[in-house]
């Protein structure tokens, strides 16, 4: 079948109604799915075929609340439907999706969407949730009143999608042949549209009067002004404790594996440069980062659970007052929280913020959230200098990690307050967020999500850390007559920036490791591993032990302080450049983060020295 006759359908609808879930299920796509509004901020294409052979190209779009496109993500969705996206034709028809459990508040949106002038059907998703909440919908009456086909759906279940697929068999043919009905437009103003929607729902939707829904009952506690905050704090605290206390055995296993591999390679390969390249360069470098995989998995096991359950949006609601105090838009919470995985999706999800200035403030502070690439650095230094003991029932290392994250958050809030009073002055609006219903995670999606996060970490080891380790090994190994690090090529390159870093307590090895860390922050760890492995004959000595033996405590603390700000991630600046469409803001972000990192490291170093730490 030619590309021309492939049917292009767009998934339109309010945020969090299940568009990406359906998209993934039908096309085998990997769009991010989570239980809060504003997950998808960019369009995505995928394909699938109906049993009849009809091929369909499906567009997953960001959620929209109407047809105005107040924020950047909404504009992407509306442009896609109107055929205004660069290099993309308009879709042939619209699958308008709606969360059936929120039909009363959302119905006017589908009436408005009829104005796009494309064949359209209403996919009433989450029928299972509607049933849980005691909502019954008369689909025939609804269809008659709105004047377009209405299909019920449970996107996350195979059986829940079958009605939709059956319907598409016939309708798809009609759309292809141009015989599918185009709806009559409803060119009336929003108020009248809402009134009409109300009258339709009063005829077609009935609701068993329950005193409180399941979600409301839980929210009495979760959103409580006092207990709610305590619960949020406990959740975050337990998360970081778990990262430390549960990861031990798996880490030991990986460490043993790596050292066996090193010994095996040393035994098989001929003595000399090749062995050194494999053992000290590749295995030591890549292994030094891979050993933190268990921690990353545990961290994401928590984050994904919070995202899927519907708690994330509640957390945003709880901290809204605090955010407003520093002048941050309530919508900034979710982009900032996403930045704990990586600043790049975080910065992109700032698209959900309507006010341009607030979006910019959020983008500028997103790199201060502790991204997954910073974890290996924290783990390494904490592992080397903080004893693995308990303070009461708590892991001391977990407490320090939690502290570092809070420092990052504190500075993010501080910088936001400063930016909002200077660069990005202007009123912010409060948080208007629709709280999703609580849901148990879809187990398969949860595991896939966890697997994907783990693979991102492992792939980076292959794509970035491996070449960087080979590079550092090369620079460290030549000229072959060099007897000290300073005499090697790496030493010469590192020596260029070392004088700038010496006043803040950094040694030559750190200076060298920071250069390839421009590619990814965790490369600092793999580079240190390679640098120290080359001088070390015994492969069983752990990197933490080498660092503990070679660095003073003030240097280690300064290094940690540097990484709270860690300006050096090139991909972050590339995405800031793209999202702000200017060079000014990435350069500014780099500049301010660099100054902060430098002073934080310097102050930490000299304070530690003055306190007599060594
Ligand atoms: N119980 C139930 N949960 C569903 C159903 N469809 C989706 N979900 C869940 O609803 C949440 C939101 O799903 P998404 O697919 O991310 O929603 P979206 O419309 O793409 O959201 P945005 O990208 O924010 O616009 C996720 O937690 C899904 O697992 C359904 O039919 N039943
Ligand atoms: Mg989505």
Give 285-318 as a DSSP string. HHHHHHTTHHHHHHHHHHHHHHHHHTHHHHHHHH
Ligand 1 centroid vs 217 CA: distance in angstroms?
21
CA distances to 132, 228, 376, 521 from 110, in Å: 23, 35, 47, 46
Enter the tokens of residue 35: 């239980």
- The answer to whether 394 and 380 are in contact (CB under 8 A) is no
CA dist 147 and 378 (Å) reads: 59
Ligand 2 centroid vs 115 CA: distance in angstroms?
23
Ligand 1 centroid vs 134 CA: distance in angstroms?
19
Asked if residue 312 has its Cβ within 6 Å of ligand 1, the reply is: no
Ligand closest to CA 98: 1
The answer on pLDDT for 1 being more than 50 is: no
Ligand 2 centroid vs 477 CA: distance in angstroms?
49
Backbone torsions φ then ψ of 292, nearest 5 degrees: -90, 5
The answer on pLDDT for 561 being more than 90 is: yes
The answer on pLDDT for 395 being more than 90 is: no
Ligand 2 centroid vs 76 CA: distance in angstroms?
13
Q: What are 403's strand-pairing partners? A: none
Closest Cα to atom 27 of ligand 1:
35
CA dist 39 and 16 (Å) reads: 8
The answer on pLDDT for 203 being more than 50 is: yes
Asked if residue 125 has its Cβ within 6 Å of ligand 1, the reply is: yes
Asked if residue 32 has its Cβ within 6 Å of ligand 1, the reply is: no
Enter the tokens of residue 364: 């500028």
User: Which atom of ligand 1 lies at the shortest distance from residue 36's CA?
Assistant: 24
Asked if residue 441 has its Cβ within 6 Å of ligand 1, the reply is: no
Asked if residue 101 has its Cβ within 6 Å of ligand 1, the reply is: no
**E strand or H helix at 556:** helix 553-565
CA dist 221 and 225 (Å) reads: 9
Rg for the chain (alpha carbons), in Å?
Answer: 27
Asked if residue 63 has its Cβ within 6 Å of ligand 1, the reply is: yes
CA dist 317 and 335 (Å) reads: 14
Closest Cα to atom 21 of ligand 1:
16
Asked if residue 111 has its Cβ within 6 Å of ligand 1, the reply is: no
Asked if residue 439 has its Cβ within 6 Å of ligand 1, the reply is: yes
* E strands in 422-502: none
b/e 139-162 (16+ beta carbons within 10 angstroms → b):
beebbebbebbbbbbbbbeeebbe
Q: What are 152's strand-pairing partners? A: 124
Pocket test for ligand 1, best of 11, 18, 34 (most atoms within 8 A of CB): 18
Ligand closest to CA 441: 1
Confidence of residue 321 (pLDDT cuts 50, 70, 90): confident
Ligand 2 centroid vs 166 CA: distance in angstroms?
23
Asked if residue 150 has its Cβ within 6 Å of ligand 1, the reply is: no
Ligand closest to CA 25: 1
Ligand closest to CA 44: 2
> Could you tell me whether strands 93-99 and 55-60 are parallel, antiparallel, or unpaired per DSSP bridges?
unpaired
Tell me 487's DSSP state.
G
User: Which atom of ligand 1 lies at the shortest distance from residue 127's CA?
Assistant: 31
Closest CA to 561 of 611, 510, 512: 510
Structure ipTM over 0.85, yes or no: yes
| pLDDT score, position 48 | 97
- The answer to whether 555 and 549 are in contact (CB under 8 A) is no
In terms of Cβ atoms closer than 10 Å to its own Cβ (0-12, 13-18, 19+), residue 283 is: buried
Q: What angle do CA 364, 367, 370 make, to 5 degrees?
A: 150
CA dist 343 and 448 (Å) reads: 21
CA dist 196 and 376 (Å) reads: 56
CA dist 126 and 118 (Å) reads: 24
CA dist 153 and 46 (Å) reads: 20
The model carries a pTM of: 0.88
Mean pLDDT of all residues in the chain?
91
- The answer to whether 601 and 556 are in contact (CB under 8 A) is no
**98 Cβ contact partners less than 8 Å away, ≥ 6 residues apart:** 13, 14, 17, 106, 107, 109, 110, 122, 123, 124, 125
Asked if residue 449 has its Cβ within 6 Å of ligand 1, the reply is: no
Q: Please write the tens of the pLDDT for every residue from 84-101.
A: 999 999 999 999 999 999
Closest Cα to atom 16 of ligand 1:
33
Asked if residue 442 has its Cβ within 6 Å of ligand 1, the reply is: yes
Helix orientation angle between 227-268 and 396-421, rounded to the nearest 10 degrees: 120
Q: Collapse the DSSP code of 566 into the 3-class scheme (helix H, G, I; strand E, B; otherwise coil) and give the result.
A: coil
Binning the chain into helix, strand and coil, the percentages to the nearest 5 are 65, 5, 30
Tell me 595's DSSP state.
H
Enter the tokens of residue 221: 């506690």
CA dist 339 and 599 (Å) reads: 23
- The answer to whether 165 and 121 are in contact (CB under 8 A) is no
Q: Please write the tens of the pLDDT for every residue from 3-51.
A: 447 999 999 999 999 999 999 999 999 899 999 999 999 999 999 999 8
> Could you tell me whether strands 7-13 and 55-60 are parallel, antiparallel, or unpaired per DSSP bridges?
parallel
Pocket test for ligand 1, best of 13, 25, 27, 33 (most atoms within 8 A of CB): 33
Asked if residue 18 has its Cβ within 6 Å of ligand 1, the reply is: yes
Q: Please write the tens of the pLDDT for every residue from 163-198.
A: 999 999 999 889 988 888 888 887 778 888 899 999
- The answer to whether 113 and 67 are in contact (CB under 8 A) is yes
Q: Please write the tens of the pLDDT for every residue from 454-496.
A: 999 999 989 999 999 999 999 999 898 888 889 999 999 999 9
Q: Please write the tens of the pLDDT for every residue from 208-225.
A: 776 677 788 899 999 998
Q: Please write the tens of the pLDDT for every residue from 230-252.
A: 999 899 889 888 888 898 899 99
Asked if residue 477 has its Cβ within 6 Å of ligand 1, the reply is: no
The residue assigned the tokens 């000014």 is 584
User: What is the share, in percent, of the chain residues with pLDDT greater than 90?
Assistant: 66
Q: In what order do the strands lie in the sheet with 120-125?
A: 44-49, 55-60, 7-13, 93-99, 120-125, 150-152
Asked if residue 40 has its Cβ within 6 Å of ligand 1, the reply is: yes
Residue 285: other Cβ atoms inside 10 A: 30
The residue assigned the tokens 């016939």 is 170
């Amino acid at each position: 079948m030619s590309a021309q006759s492939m049917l292009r359908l767009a998934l339109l609808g309010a945020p969090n109604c299940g568009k990406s879930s359906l998209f993934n299920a039908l096309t085998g796509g990997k769009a991010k799915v989570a239980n809060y509004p504003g997950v998808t901020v960019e369009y995505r294409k995928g394909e699938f075929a109906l049993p009849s052979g009809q091929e369909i190209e499906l567009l997953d779009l960001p959620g929209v609340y109407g047809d105005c496109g107040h924020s950047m993500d909404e504009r992407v969705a509306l442009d896609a439907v109107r055929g205004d996206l660069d290099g993309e034709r308009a879709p042939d028809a619209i699958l308008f999706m709606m969360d059936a459990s929120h039909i009363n508040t959302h119905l006017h949106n589908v009436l408005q969407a009829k104005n796009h002038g494309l064949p359209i059907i209403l996919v009433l998703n989450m029928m299972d949730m509607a049933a849980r909440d005691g909502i019954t919908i008369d689909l025939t009456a609804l269809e008659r009143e709105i004047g377009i086909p209405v299909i019920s759906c449970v996107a996350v279940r195979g059986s829940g999608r079958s009605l939709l697929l059956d319907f598409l068999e016939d309708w798809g043919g009609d759309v292809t042949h141009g015989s599918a009905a185009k709806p009559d437009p409803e060119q009336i103003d929003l108020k009248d549209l809402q009134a009409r929607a109300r009258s339709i729902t009063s005829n077609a939707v009935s609701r068993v009067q329950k005193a409180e829904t399941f979600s409301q009952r839980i929210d009495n506690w979760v959103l409580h002004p006092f207990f709610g905050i305590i619960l949020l704090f406990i959740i975050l605290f337990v998360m970081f404790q778990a990262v430390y206390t549960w990861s031990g055995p798996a880490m030991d296993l990986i460490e043993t594996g790596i050292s066996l591999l090193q010994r095996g390679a040393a035994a098989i390969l001929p003595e000399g440069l090749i062995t050194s390249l494999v053992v000290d360069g590749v295995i030591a470098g890549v292994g030094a980062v891979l050993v933190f995989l268990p921690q990353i998995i545990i961290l994401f096991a928590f984050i994904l659970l919070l995202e899927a359950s519907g708690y994330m949006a509640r957390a945003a609601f709880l901290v809204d007052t605090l955010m407003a105090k520093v002048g941050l838009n309530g919508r900034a919470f979710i982009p900032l929280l996403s930045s704990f995985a990586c600043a790049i999706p975080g910065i992109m999800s700032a698209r959900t913020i309507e006010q341009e200035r607030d979006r910019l403030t959020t983008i500028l502070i997103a790199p201060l959230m502790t991204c997954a690439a910073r974890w290996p650095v924290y783990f390494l230094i904490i592992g080397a200098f903080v004893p693995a003991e308990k303070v009461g029932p708590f892991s001391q290392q977990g407490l320090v990690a939690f502290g570092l994250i809070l420092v990052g958050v504190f500075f993010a809030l501080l910088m936001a307050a400063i930016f909002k009073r200077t660069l990005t002055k202007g009123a912010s609006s409060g948080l208007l967020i629709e709280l999703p219903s609580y849901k148990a995670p879809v187990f398969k999606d949860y595991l896939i999500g966890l697997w994907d996060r783990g693979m991102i970490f492992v792939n980076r080891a292959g794509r970035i850390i491996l070449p960087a380790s080979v590079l550092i090994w090369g620079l460290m190994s030549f000229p072959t007559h060099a007897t000290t690090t300073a005499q090697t090529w790496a030493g010469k390159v590192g020596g260029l920036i070392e004088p700038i870093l010496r006043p803040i307590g950094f040694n030559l090895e750190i200076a060298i490791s920071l250069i390839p860390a421009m590619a990814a922050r965790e490369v600092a760890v793999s580079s240190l591993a390679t640098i120290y492995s080359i001088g070390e004959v015994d492969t069983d000595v752990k990197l933490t032990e080498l660092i503990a033996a070679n660095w003073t405590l003030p240097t280690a603390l300064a290094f940690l302080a540097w990484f709270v700000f860690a300006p050096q991630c090139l991909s972050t600046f590339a995405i800031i450049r793209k999202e702000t469409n200017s060079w000014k803001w990435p350069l500014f972000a780099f500049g301010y983060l660099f100054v902060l990192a430098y002073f934080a490291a310097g102050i930490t170093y000299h304070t530690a020295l003055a306190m007599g730490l060594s």
